Amino acid sequence: MAVAQDQIKMASPNNDAGLLGKIVGAKTRFQTQRALWGYVFALPWILGLVIFWGGPILASFYFSFTNYEIIGSSKFVGLDNYIRVFTRDPLFWPSMGRTFTFTALYVPAVIIGALLLAVLLNQKLWGTNYYRTVFFMPHLIPAVALAVLWIYLMQPRMGPINTTLRSMGIDNPPSWLASKDSALYAVTLILVWAGIGGNTMIIFLAGLQGVPQELYEAASMDGANAWSKFRNVTLPLLTPTIFFNLVLAVIAALKVFGTAWVATQGGPSYATWFIAMHIFVEAFQYFRLGYGSALAWILAVIILVFTWVQVRGSRRWVHYEGG
C-alpha cells in the first residue's frame, strides 16, 4: 500500500511541475553562465574599443571646441574653431575641392575596374587562381612602399615609365608627381592601380558566385547573348554588392592620405593637398589639436552625409533577392 502511495505522489501533477521547474532553472543557470563567460572572453576587445576608440572620439569632440596645443591646458573657445574653418582658413575649401575631385575620379574607376576583373576571373578559365593572386598583390603592398615604388617609376627623367614613353617616340612625357598639373591624376592612377584588384574585386567575385546558374540557363533558352545576360541577370542581382563597394570606396576616397602624403606631401604647389593632409598637418605638425579635431569632425560629418545620401538613393536601384 505504501509503495502504491509513493507512485501516486511521484505521478502527481505537482511533482511533475516541480521537476519541470528544476529542469528549466538548471537550463537558465547554464545559459547565464555561458553568456557570462562569453562576456569575459570578449572583455579585452570591449575594453580596447572603449579605451582606444570610443575614448579618443569623445576627447576629439571636446577638443574641437577648445584651443588645445598639447603644451598647456585647453581653453574653451566654443564654435570659434568651426567658424575659422569655414571663413578664415585659406586651405580648407581648396583641399575639400581636391578631395572631391579625387573621389569623382577614383570611385568610378575602382568600381568599374574591379567589377570587370571579377567578371573575368569568374569565367573559370585555366590559371584563374594564379591571376587572382597577381591582381590582389598590389593591395597587399603597404602604403609607404607603394608610394616609394611609384616615385621611382614616375621619375620624370630616369623613371622607367617616361623612359619607355620616350622610346616610343613621345618626346615630352608627363612629369607625373613632379608637376602641379599632373600630380593629382598621378596619385589617382597609383591608388586606382592598387585598389582595383583588392577587396573590392574579391567582394564582387563573391557576389558573382552567388548568382544562381539557373537564371543564366533560362536566359540562354530565351536566346539571350552574353551582354544581355550581364545586363538583365548579373547586374540586377549584383546591385547590393555594388552598393556595398560603392559606400566603402567613397569613404576610402574621402579619407585619402597615406600613399599621397608619402608620394607628394601635398605638393607640388598644394596640387595634392587633401583634407586628410590638412588635418594631419594642423594636428600633428603645428600641434593645433583643437583646430585639427574640428577639421576631423567636419570630415566625419561629410562622410556621414555622403553615406546617408547613398543609402537613401539605393532604394531606387538596389534590388535585394526576395524583395
Q: How far apart are CA 25 and CA 20, in angstroms?
A: 9
Per residue in 252-280, pLDDT (tens digit) is: 999 999 999 999 999 899 999 999 999 99
Model confidence at 215: pLDDT above 80 = yes
Instruction: Tell me the average pLDDT of the chain.
Output: 87
Name residue 6's amino acid.
Answer: D
Split at pLDDT 50, 70, 90, the class of 11 is very low
173 CB-near residues (< 8 Å, 6+ apart): 156, 161, 162, 165, 166
> Cα dihedral angle (85, 284, 138, 107), rounded to 10 degrees?
-10
Mean pLDDT of 116-128: 83
Residue 7 has pLDDT above 90, yes or no: no
- What's residue 138's pLDDT? 82
Rounded Cα distance between 51 and 63, Å, is 17
Confidence (pTM): 0.84
Distance CA 264, CA 187 (A): 9
Average pLDDT over residues 136-153: 88
Looking at residue 25, its pLDDT comes to 63
Report whether pLDDT(78) > 60.
yes
Cell triple for 236: 540586377
**Residues 6 or more apart from 184 whose CB is under 8 A from it?**
98, 101, 102, 271, 272
Give the tens place of pLDDT for each residue, 297-307. 999 999 999 99
Asked if pLDDT for residue 3 goes beyond 60, the answer is no
**How many helices and strands (H and E) does the chain possess?**
16, 0
Q: Which of 74-78, 121-125, 268-272 has the lowest mean pLDDT?
A: 121-125
Confidence at residue 5, expressed as pLDDT on a 0 to 100 scale: 46
For residues 108 and 143, what is the distance between their CA atoms, to the nearest angstrom?
21
Q: What letter does residue 66 receive in the DSSP assignment?
A: B
CATH of domain 80-317: 1.10.3720.10
What mean pLDDT do residues 137-160 have?
Answer: 89
Dihedral of CA 106/111/114/120: which sign? negative
Cell numbers at 52, concatenated: 582606444
Return the pLDDT at 26: 65
The CA distances from residue 19 to 6, 155, 188, 298, in Å, are 16, 82, 71, 62
| Residue 213 vs residue 27, higher pLDDT | 213
CB 286, CB 132: distance < 8 Å = no
